[in-house]
Amino acid sequence: MKIIDILNSGSRSLSFEVFPPKTGETYDKMKYVSYKIAELHPSFMSVTYGAGGGTSQYTVDIAKGIKSVGENVIAHLTCVSSTREHVRNMLDAYQECGIENILALRGDIPEGFNYDEMQYRYASELIYEIKDHGGDFCIGGACYPEKHPEAASSREDIQNLKTKVDAGCEFLTTQMFFDNDVYYNFLYRLREAGVEVPVIAGIMPITHPSQIGKVLDISKTALPQRFLRIVDTFGDSPQTMRQAGIAFATEQIIDLFANGVNAVHVYSMNKPDVAAEIQANVSAIIGK
Protein backbone atom coordinates (compact mmCIF):
# COMPACT_ATOMS: atom_id res chain seq x y z
CA MET A 1 0.00 0.00 0.00
CA LYS A 2 1.18 3.51 -0.71
CA ILE A 3 2.10 5.58 2.35
CA ILE A 4 0.15 8.56 1.04
CA ASP A 5 -3.04 6.46 1.05
CA ILE A 6 -2.38 5.49 4.68
CA LEU A 7 -1.83 9.15 5.56
CA ASN A 8 -4.93 10.29 3.70
CA SER A 9 -7.14 7.59 5.23
CA GLY A 10 -7.92 9.81 8.22
CA SER A 11 -6.90 7.06 10.69
CA ARG A 12 -4.06 7.45 13.18
CA SER A 13 -0.89 5.71 12.07
CA LEU A 14 2.05 4.44 14.10
CA SER A 15 5.04 3.15 12.16
CA PHE A 16 8.54 1.89 12.97
CA GLU A 17 11.99 2.22 11.47
CA VAL A 18 14.63 -0.45 11.09
CA PHE A 19 18.16 -0.01 9.84
CA PRO A 20 20.07 -2.68 7.92
CA PRO A 21 23.26 -4.24 9.23
CA LYS A 22 26.65 -2.76 8.45
CA THR A 23 28.12 -6.20 7.75
CA GLY A 24 26.82 -9.55 6.51
CA GLU A 25 27.62 -11.15 9.87
CA THR A 26 24.72 -9.44 11.60
CA TYR A 27 22.28 -9.82 8.71
CA ASP A 28 20.35 -12.80 10.14
CA LYS A 29 19.89 -11.05 13.48
CA MET A 30 18.63 -7.95 11.70
CA LYS A 31 16.24 -9.98 9.59
CA TYR A 32 14.85 -11.56 12.76
CA VAL A 33 14.45 -8.09 14.34
CA SER A 34 12.54 -6.77 11.33
CA TYR A 35 10.18 -9.76 11.38
CA LYS A 36 9.57 -9.30 15.11
CA ILE A 37 8.59 -5.67 14.52
CA ALA A 38 6.49 -6.72 11.51
CA GLU A 39 4.54 -9.05 13.84
CA LEU A 40 3.17 -5.91 15.52
CA HIS A 41 1.44 -5.03 12.22
CA PRO A 42 2.39 -1.35 12.36
CA SER A 43 0.92 1.05 9.82
CA PHE A 44 4.18 0.65 7.91
CA MET A 45 7.88 0.04 8.45
CA SER A 46 10.77 2.01 7.01
CA VAL A 47 14.16 0.55 6.11
CA THR A 48 17.06 3.00 6.09
CA TYR A 49 19.83 3.15 3.53
CA GLY A 50 23.50 3.00 4.48
CA ALA A 51 25.35 6.20 3.58
CA GLY A 52 27.48 5.60 0.51
CA GLY A 53 25.29 2.76 -0.72
CA GLY A 54 27.73 -0.01 0.27
CA THR A 55 24.99 -1.91 2.09
CA SER A 56 22.20 -1.06 -0.35
CA GLN A 57 21.44 -4.72 -1.09
CA TYR A 58 20.54 -5.21 2.59
CA THR A 59 17.97 -2.41 2.33
CA VAL A 60 16.42 -4.16 -0.67
CA ASP A 61 16.43 -7.57 1.02
CA ILE A 62 15.04 -6.40 4.36
CA ALA A 63 12.32 -4.32 2.69
CA LYS A 64 11.44 -7.25 0.44
CA GLY A 65 11.23 -9.54 3.48
CA ILE A 66 8.87 -7.15 5.30
CA LYS A 67 6.67 -6.93 2.21
CA SER A 68 6.66 -10.72 1.84
CA VAL A 69 4.99 -11.07 5.25
CA GLY A 70 2.23 -8.72 4.13
CA GLU A 71 3.34 -5.49 5.82
CA ASN A 72 3.58 -2.02 4.29
CA VAL A 73 7.12 -0.85 3.76
CA ILE A 74 9.07 2.19 2.63
CA ALA A 75 12.69 1.83 1.51
CA HIS A 76 15.05 4.78 1.91
CA LEU A 77 17.40 5.84 -0.86
CA THR A 78 20.21 8.41 -0.69
CA CYS A 79 21.96 9.97 -3.67
CA VAL A 80 24.82 12.32 -2.81
CA SER A 81 27.55 9.66 -2.84
CA SER A 82 26.00 7.65 -5.66
CA THR A 83 26.29 7.63 -9.41
CA ARG A 84 23.20 7.96 -11.58
CA GLU A 85 23.77 4.40 -12.71
CA HIS A 86 23.71 3.11 -9.14
CA VAL A 87 20.54 5.05 -8.34
CA ARG A 88 18.80 3.70 -11.45
CA ASN A 89 19.86 0.16 -10.55
CA MET A 90 18.41 0.65 -7.09
CA LEU A 91 15.13 1.90 -8.52
CA ASP A 92 14.98 -1.17 -10.78
CA ALA A 93 15.63 -3.39 -7.75
CA TYR A 94 12.89 -1.66 -5.69
CA GLN A 95 10.45 -1.96 -8.56
CA GLU A 96 11.27 -5.63 -9.19
CA CYS A 97 10.48 -6.61 -5.61
CA GLY A 98 7.27 -4.58 -5.52
CA ILE A 99 8.42 -1.79 -3.20
CA GLU A 100 5.93 1.05 -3.76
CA ASN A 101 7.32 3.68 -1.38
CA ILE A 102 10.68 5.45 -1.36
CA LEU A 103 12.01 8.00 1.14
CA ALA A 104 14.18 10.10 -1.17
CA LEU A 105 17.18 11.57 0.64
CA ARG A 106 20.31 13.42 -0.23
CA GLY A 107 22.40 11.71 2.48
CA ASP A 108 25.12 13.31 4.54
CA ILE A 109 28.14 14.62 2.68
CA PRO A 110 31.07 12.37 3.61
CA GLU A 111 34.31 13.87 4.92
CA GLY A 112 36.81 14.62 2.16
CA PHE A 113 34.05 14.42 -0.45
CA ASN A 114 35.14 15.20 -4.00
CA TYR A 115 32.53 17.71 -5.19
CA ASP A 116 33.72 17.31 -8.81
CA GLU A 117 32.29 13.79 -8.78
CA MET A 118 28.93 14.83 -7.35
CA GLN A 119 26.03 13.71 -9.53
CA TYR A 120 23.18 14.82 -7.23
CA ARG A 121 23.27 17.89 -5.01
CA TYR A 122 19.87 17.74 -3.34
CA ALA A 123 17.13 15.27 -2.57
CA SER A 124 14.87 17.12 -5.04
CA GLU A 125 17.20 16.02 -7.85
CA LEU A 126 16.78 12.42 -6.72
CA ILE A 127 13.02 12.93 -6.77
CA TYR A 128 13.20 14.05 -10.40
CA GLU A 129 15.28 10.94 -11.15
CA ILE A 130 12.68 8.69 -9.48
CA LYS A 131 9.88 10.37 -11.46
CA ASP A 132 11.91 9.98 -14.64
CA HIS A 133 12.44 6.27 -13.94
CA GLY A 134 8.76 5.67 -14.57
CA GLY A 135 8.11 3.25 -11.68
CA ASP A 136 4.86 3.88 -9.83
CA PHE A 137 6.47 5.00 -6.56
CA CYS A 138 5.03 7.08 -3.74
CA ILE A 139 7.86 9.43 -2.76
CA GLY A 140 8.52 10.90 0.67
CA GLY A 141 11.26 13.18 1.95
CA ALA A 142 12.93 14.30 5.17
CA CYS A 143 12.40 17.57 7.02
CA TYR A 144 13.92 19.22 10.07
CA PRO A 145 11.74 21.08 12.59
CA GLU A 146 14.88 22.67 14.08
CA LYS A 147 16.21 23.30 10.52
CA HIS A 148 18.73 21.19 8.64
CA PRO A 149 22.18 21.80 10.17
CA GLU A 150 23.59 23.11 6.86
CA ALA A 151 20.79 25.60 6.20
CA ALA A 152 21.54 29.25 6.91
CA SER A 153 18.06 29.86 8.33
CA SER A 154 14.75 28.12 8.95
CA ARG A 155 13.10 30.29 6.34
CA GLU A 156 15.65 29.22 3.68
CA ASP A 157 15.32 25.56 4.74
CA ILE A 158 11.53 25.74 4.37
CA GLN A 159 11.83 27.34 0.93
CA ASN A 160 14.11 24.44 -0.06
CA LEU A 161 11.54 22.02 1.33
CA LYS A 162 8.96 23.65 -0.88
CA THR A 163 11.20 22.98 -3.88
CA LYS A 164 11.40 19.33 -2.78
CA VAL A 165 7.62 19.06 -2.48
CA ASP A 166 7.13 20.77 -5.84
CA ALA A 167 9.50 18.17 -7.34
CA GLY A 168 7.04 15.43 -6.35
CA CYS A 169 7.57 14.66 -2.66
CA GLU A 170 4.14 13.55 -1.43
CA PHE A 171 4.80 13.59 2.32
CA LEU A 172 7.55 14.48 4.78
CA THR A 173 8.95 12.72 7.84
CA THR A 174 10.58 14.84 10.50
CA GLN A 175 13.94 14.47 12.12
CA MET A 176 13.51 13.41 15.75
CA PHE A 177 12.47 16.10 18.23
CA PHE A 178 11.88 15.99 21.98
CA ASP A 179 9.66 19.02 22.42
CA ASN A 180 6.32 18.84 20.60
CA ASP A 181 6.01 22.62 20.50
CA VAL A 182 8.95 22.58 18.08
CA TYR A 183 6.88 20.38 15.74
CA TYR A 184 3.69 22.46 16.08
CA ASN A 185 5.60 25.66 15.36
CA PHE A 186 7.34 24.09 12.36
CA LEU A 187 4.04 22.84 10.96
CA TYR A 188 2.59 26.34 11.26
CA ARG A 189 5.53 27.81 9.35
CA LEU A 190 5.32 25.10 6.68
CA ARG A 191 1.63 25.78 6.08
CA GLU A 192 2.30 29.51 6.02
CA ALA A 193 4.91 28.92 3.31
CA GLY A 194 2.40 26.89 1.29
CA VAL A 195 3.80 23.42 2.02
CA GLU A 196 0.62 21.41 2.37
CA VAL A 197 1.74 17.75 2.32
CA PRO A 198 1.30 15.46 5.38
CA VAL A 199 4.18 15.71 7.87
CA ILE A 200 4.85 12.52 9.83
CA ALA A 201 6.24 13.24 13.30
CA GLY A 202 9.47 11.32 14.03
CA ILE A 203 9.85 10.22 17.65
CA MET A 204 12.95 8.63 19.12
CA PRO A 205 12.63 6.74 22.40
CA ILE A 206 15.90 7.18 24.29
CA THR A 207 16.20 3.97 26.24
CA HIS A 208 19.89 4.09 27.12
CA PRO A 209 21.99 7.10 28.15
CA SER A 210 24.67 6.12 25.63
CA GLN A 211 22.25 7.06 22.81
CA ILE A 212 22.13 10.71 23.78
CA GLY A 213 25.52 11.83 22.43
CA LYS A 214 24.87 10.08 19.13
CA VAL A 215 21.37 11.50 18.81
CA LEU A 216 22.59 15.04 19.41
CA ASP A 217 25.41 14.55 16.96
CA ILE A 218 23.10 13.27 14.20
CA SER A 219 20.11 15.51 14.70
CA LYS A 220 21.56 18.63 16.37
CA THR A 221 18.23 18.69 18.20
CA ALA A 222 17.72 20.53 21.47
CA LEU A 223 16.90 18.43 24.51
CA PRO A 224 14.34 20.11 26.79
CA GLN A 225 15.12 20.53 30.50
CA ARG A 226 12.28 18.13 31.30
CA PHE A 227 14.07 15.38 29.39
CA LEU A 228 17.53 16.28 30.70
CA ARG A 229 16.22 15.92 34.26
CA ILE A 230 15.06 12.40 33.44
CA VAL A 231 18.50 11.50 32.08
CA ASP A 232 20.14 13.10 35.09
CA THR A 233 18.04 11.11 37.55
CA PHE A 234 17.65 7.77 35.78
CA GLY A 235 20.58 7.70 33.35
CA ASP A 236 22.85 5.62 35.57
CA SER A 237 20.64 2.57 35.44
CA PRO A 238 19.81 1.01 32.05
CA GLN A 239 16.54 -0.43 33.41
CA THR A 240 15.16 2.81 34.81
CA MET A 241 16.35 4.84 31.82
CA ARG A 242 14.61 2.39 29.49
CA GLN A 243 11.33 2.72 31.39
CA ALA A 244 11.57 6.51 31.63
CA GLY A 245 12.58 6.84 27.95
CA ILE A 246 9.62 4.78 26.76
CA ALA A 247 7.26 6.75 29.01
CA PHE A 248 8.63 10.07 27.68
CA ALA A 249 8.23 8.98 24.04
CA THR A 250 4.73 7.64 24.77
CA GLU A 251 3.72 10.94 26.32
CA GLN A 252 5.01 12.81 23.27
CA ILE A 253 3.05 10.49 20.96
CA ILE A 254 -0.19 10.82 22.94
CA ASP A 255 0.16 14.61 22.94
CA LEU A 256 0.68 14.59 19.16
CA PHE A 257 -2.41 12.43 18.59
CA ALA A 258 -4.39 14.59 21.02
CA ASN A 259 -3.46 17.66 18.97
CA GLY A 260 -4.65 16.18 15.70
CA VAL A 261 -1.33 14.88 14.36
CA ASN A 262 -2.38 11.56 12.89
CA ALA A 263 0.95 10.09 11.79
CA VAL A 264 3.83 9.20 14.11
CA HIS A 265 6.97 7.34 13.05
CA VAL A 266 9.08 5.78 15.79
CA TYR A 267 12.84 5.51 15.41
CA SER A 268 12.74 2.13 17.07
CA MET A 269 16.49 1.47 16.67
CA ASN A 270 16.02 -2.22 15.80
CA LYS A 271 14.48 -2.89 19.20
CA PRO A 272 11.29 -4.96 18.83
CA ASP A 273 10.66 -4.89 22.61
CA VAL A 274 10.68 -1.08 22.66
CA ALA A 275 8.42 -0.90 19.59
CA ALA A 276 6.02 -3.40 21.19
CA GLU A 277 5.82 -1.47 24.46
CA ILE A 278 5.19 1.84 22.75
CA GLN A 279 2.50 0.34 20.54
CA ALA A 280 0.87 -1.31 23.56
CA ASN A 281 0.90 2.03 25.40
CA VAL A 282 -1.21 3.67 22.67
CA SER A 283 -3.12 0.60 21.46
CA ALA A 284 -6.61 1.92 22.17
CA ILE A 285 -5.73 5.32 20.70
CA ILE A 286 -4.62 3.81 17.39
CA GLY A 287 -7.29 1.09 17.44
CA LYS A 288 -5.00 -1.97 17.72
Determine contact, residues 244/230, Cβ cutoff 8 Å.
Answer: yes
Catalytic annotation on 17? Answer: yes
- Which residues within the stretch 61-90 sit at the binding site for ligand FAD (CB under 6 A)? 76, 78
- Which residues within the stretch 225-264 sit at the binding site for ligand FAD (CB under 6 A)? none
Q: Taking Cα atoms as reference points, which of 19, 14, 5 lies closest to residue 253?
A: 14
Stretch that binds ligand FAD, among 8-16, 46-54, 229-237, 248-256 (CB under 6 A): 46-54
User: Which of 215, 247 has the CB closer to ligand FAD?
Assistant: 215
In the complex, least distance from residue 196 CB atom to ligand FAD, rounded to whole angstroms: 17
Report the residue from 42, 53, 202, 245 that binds ligand FAD according to the rule CB under 6 A: 202
Handedness of CA 82, 88, 94, 97 (dihedral sign): negative
Count of alpha carbons within 13 angstroms of residue 76, beta-carbon side: 23
- Phi, psi (degrees; rounded to nearest 5) at 93: -65, -45
User: Which of 195, 241 has the CB closer to ligand FAD?
Assistant: 195
Number of residues that make up the chain: 288
Q: Does 48 bind ligand FAD (CB under 6 A)?
A: yes
Determine contact, residues 19/154, Cβ cutoff 8 Å.
Answer: no
Q: Does 119 bind ligand FAD (CB under 6 A)?
A: no
Q: Does 173 bind ligand FAD (CB under 6 A)?
A: yes
Q: Does 181 bind ligand FAD (CB under 6 A)?
A: no
Stretch that binds ligand FAD, among 30-38, 64-72, 104-112, 252-260 (CB under 6 A): 104-112
In the complex, least distance from residue 152 CB atom to ligand FAD, rounded to whole angstroms: 8
Report the residue from 53, 65, 107, 205 that binds ligand FAD according to the rule CB under 6 A: 107
Determine contact, residues 36/272, Cβ cutoff 8 Å.
Answer: yes
Q: Does 123 bind ligand FAD (CB under 6 A)?
A: yes
User: Which of 105, 230 has the CB closer to ligand FAD?
Assistant: 105
β-pairing verdict for 171-174 and 101-105: unpaired
In the complex, least distance from residue 280 CB atom to ligand FAD, rounded to whole angstroms: 24
Determine contact, residues 242/217, Cβ cutoff 8 Å.
Answer: no
Instruction: Give 250's contacts (C-beta < 8 A, 6+ positions apart).
Output: 278, 281, 282
Instruction: Give 119's contacts (C-beta < 8 A, 6+ positions apart).
Output: 79, 82, 83, 84
The residues assigned a catalytic role are 17
Binding site for ligand FAD (CB under 6 A): 48-49, 51, 76, 78, 103, 105-108, 122-124, 141-142, 148, 150-151, 157, 160, 163-164, 173, 175, 202
